[in-house]
A and B are shown apart, each in its own frame.
Chain A
């Protein structure tokens, strides 16, 4: 795996650059993930608020719901949940696609057609995953907070302006930037693990299924480990 990552950086910086395939993958990986990620983000924001509400009312601090939900979503829940859904959708799809290309000799065919398959398939997909995930997380955070706003409004009337003002009162630069930066690493992990599992797939169609499955499992574990490291580093700042 470390050799594979080394090769990614080695091949990634050297021309020929596969811009066409990269932009195509940004569309497939990023844009096409938006409906699923948007829907789950909305539900999480709404459900989190509804679940918190009775306890917060019990302690008489329901006014703090926007701040509490806002910090939880932006610092942790948004990046982690979005990344896990992204790993499920994109990690498995990359693992299965490359695995299937491997067992049906499409990767070899690419090589004899004057194409570096590592660059064309691995570098483009990993970069696309790495660069689109942070923006998906920003959009997911915004949708999630809107879900939370609707959740609050089930119980009381709170204006949109006041809801966001309450969030922004408690949200600082240090909450937003590390959460944003860590998602680049999550995206990289999802992309490179999916590609690695697919690129070295074997044993026919059974191997393809296994590649897709282990791409999701390994990248999900990697997300939690990277998150743990990111939290430790953020605490030091």
Chain B
């Protein structure tokens, strides 16, 4: 897998990443590459540091040591303006959706467009909002409040909000957590459709094996703060390593 990826362009490169919270070492010399157009799943147990990892990538958490290169820029050594520019190219789907409760769906979707200093008139903003909602099949919810929607709908709206800036990279933090099996499958299908339509590269953080099986082109297993193993789903499933087997049982 690695050999075939050498010819591909790396869009995220994580080198020797360390992060501790007090005595708790969450990331301990973690290394990972995400290649253009690839869908990579980072698999790990709850509390293993998966969310910390993607929050480091987007600059929400500052690691203790190491380097994170996103689209050719070292996110740990850039100023606020450059970081904001990177963030327009990297979409982040939060585990809890993070929709603003006090805003309508329209206002939620308009928020990143208005805040990222993108010069657009109202008609263009409306067009982008409706396009993002069409992508997730929820045009009719535009004037509703997040509290009026179901869990699955909220997840799709959060995805639409992330997509509105047409990011080159998508980071999904536990996209199927808290959803029933059917809705989870719908979200996974939607993630795959979006990846194909917009040619996005994506990192999916999960411990949902169905999600891993359906969404991953490559899987990285995070154990003890390290990238313990990586490969395709089938490859890892056949592994004899006890720590890897635990995930596939």
- With known contacts A105-B94, A105-B96, A108-B94, A113–B112 Cβ distance under 8 A: yes
- Chain A at the B interface: SS class: helix
Q: Cβ of B247 < 8 Å from any Cβ of A?
A: no
- Determine the chain A residues whose CB is within 8 A of the CB of B95 once the complex forms: 105
**Contact residues of A between 114 and 135, Cβ < 8 Å to B:** 114-115
Question: What number of B residues sit within 8 Å (CB to CB) of A?
Answer: 22
Produce 1/0 per residue, A87-119, CB < 8 A to B: 000000000010011011110111111110000
- Chain B at the A interface: SS class: loop
Whether A113 lies near B101 (C-beta < 8 A) is no
Q: Cβ of B133 < 8 Å from any Cβ of A?
A: no
Whether A113 lies near B115 (C-beta < 8 A) is yes
Whether B84 lies near A114 (C-beta < 8 A) is yes
**Contact residues of A between 69 and 91, Cβ < 8 Å to B:** none
- With known contacts A104-B98, A106-B98, A112–B58 Cβ distance under 8 A: yes
- With known contacts A100-B101, A104-B98, A105-B96, A114–B117 Cβ distance under 8 A: yes
Which residue in chain B gives the minimum CB-CB distance to A97? B102
- Measured in the bound complex, the distance between the Cα atoms of B95 and A97 in whole Å is 19
Produce 1/0 per residue, B85-111, CB < 8 A to A: 001101010111111111000000001
- Determine the chain B residues whose CB is within 8 A of the CB of A111 once the complex forms: 60
Whether A112 lies near B117 (C-beta < 8 A) is no
Whether A108 lies near B101 (C-beta < 8 A) is no
- Determine the chain A residues whose CB is within 8 A of the CB of B45 once the complex forms: none
Whether A109 lies near B98 (C-beta < 8 A) is yes
Which residue in chain A gives the minimum CB-CB distance to B100? A106
Whether A108 lies near B112 (C-beta < 8 A) is no
Which residue in chain A gives the minimum CB-CB distance to B51? A105
Closest CB of chain A to B107's CB: distance in Å? 12
Residue from B98, B101, B116 with most neighbouring chain A CB atoms (10 Å): B98
Which residue in chain A gives the minimum CB-CB distance to B85? A114
- Measured in the bound complex, the distance between the Cα atoms of B96 and A108 in whole Å is 11
- Measured in the bound complex, the distance between the Cα atoms of B112 and A114 in whole Å is 7
Which residue in chain A gives the minimum CB-CB distance to B108? A109
- Determine the chain B residues whose CB is within 8 A of the CB of A109 once the complex forms: 92, 94, 98, 100
- Determine the chain B residues whose CB is within 8 A of the CB of A106 once the complex forms: 98-101
Apart from A109-B92, A114-B112, 6 more pairs, CB < 8 Å: A104-B97, A105-B98, A106-B100, A112-B60, A113-B115, A114-B115
